[in-house]
Amino acid sequence: MKASVQGFQDKQAGSGALFEDIYLLEGKRTPFGKYTGGLSTISPTDLGILASLAAIESAGVPAGDIDQTIVANIGQASADSFFLPRHIALYAGAPLESTALLTQRICGSGIELLGQAAEQLALGKANLVLGCGTDTMSRFPLASYSARQGFQLGRPEFVDLLWEALNDTAAVPMGCTADNLAKEYNLTREEVDAFAMRSQQRYADAQAAGFFAQEIAPVAAKGILEMADYKPRKYRCNGRNEVAADEHPRLASMEQLAKLPYVFTKEGPTTAGSASGIVDGSAALLVASGDYVRANGLKPLGKVRGFASTGVRPDIMGIGPVPAIQLLLGQMNLSLGDIDRFEINEAFSAQCLAVAKALELDQDKLNINGGAIAIGHPLGATGVRLALTCLKTLQRDQLQLGVISACIGGGQGIAMVVEAC
């Protein structure tokens, strides 16, 4: 068998690609640090380097074999962000002759970069690709786009890019789209809060069982990242101790959740307790051709079988996973019943519940280790985290097929089918 790709496009439904002989080797992620927490002082470049170094070591492949690096990053959260993909590649050990690029599909960027990596492999443009998603949301800057043109005395114009990342100026803020879906799918406050509580409880149970230890690479309190003949990079956590675990998860009772005020609309039901966490973190995976896997005697985590993306109305952007999943499974001649596990990003409880309701999903297959309500959603890193978690779950449960999916601000959806090895 040889790595190959077959693209498809439907003007009414979206586009994507199906793959043969493309593998996900291994991956790691940093812990996801809470807003202004332990990782908030570290640039997304340095978080990406740390996750990539850990992934390469875990995969047991030489960094010198990397042909391409594809990185997802949404917020330019350090002064050298223009060089972010290249610096992640080089400081992770990729050859000087290898190439690096940035991809951006907002919340779907991590899945997108894995799909792009698979395409490069299937086209024969690489044998081994480093994929990394990274965002330090705590460092999203205040920016002035008009200062160079001048401003009136005492009236400089600044915008908060963290808020702007969550606000679709063509429609409504992201949380409002979840409330719109709650109304459309008749979701009650109690249902939405119960989903949030379950996400936190499922995460706590998985954490207690040691599940997340296999995907997390702790971040030392401080360190130096070095590359021969070039300037070293120093980083320091926001505190004296290493960050070894996710900082955002917090168990809450239904009574506690019920006391939280609505955040986006007067009618709700979205609150801070039923929204994904604003966090900092990075995740990386190695993607390889079958030829590379066989030539090096590797045992991969799984295969990339296909991915698809589609567009939906911006004011209900959270429903995006529904048409994306339906399109992809249709192209693969699979049904929802053929899928053993679903990892669908929990941008908001109401959003993920609406997706589950529209697809009539068995929720015992959905986000069974918790999701972004508990872990958080560092925009560029989430898709890679979903793939890593899904494959580790399939292996643990001795199952075969998984779907990872995310809604995307502005009105898109993306989905990928992975198969455990």
- Active site members: 107, 407
Element holding 345 (H helix, E strand): none
Q: Which residues have C-beta within 8 Å of that of residue 213, sequence separation ≥ 6?
A: none
Instruction: Give yes or no for a contact between 52 and 287, defined as CB atoms under 8 angstroms apart.
Output: no
For tokens 């900082």, the residue is 247
Q: Which residues have C-beta within 8 Å of that of residue 200, sequence separation ≥ 6?
A: 249, 250, 251, 252, 370, 373, 374
Instruction: Give yes or no for a contact between 142 and 162, defined as CB atoms under 8 angstroms apart.
Output: no
Q: Which residues have C-beta within 8 Å of that of residue 141, sequence separation ≥ 6?
A: 75, 76, 77, 161
DSSP string, 181-240: HHHHTT--HHHHHHHHHHHHHHHHHHHHTTTGGGTB--B-SEEEE--TTS--EEEE-SSS
Tokens representing 191 are: 């249902």
At residue 86, φ and ψ (nearest 5 deg) are -65, -40
Residue 108 per-residue DSSP state: G
Alpha carbon distance 15, 150 (integer Å): 44
Q: Which of 365, 349, 362 is nearest to 407 (CA)?
A: 349
Q: Which residues have C-beta within 8 Å of that of residue 290, sequence separation ≥ 6?
A: 1, 2, 3, 21, 22, 23
∠ CA 103-107-111 to the nearest 5 degrees? Answer: 60
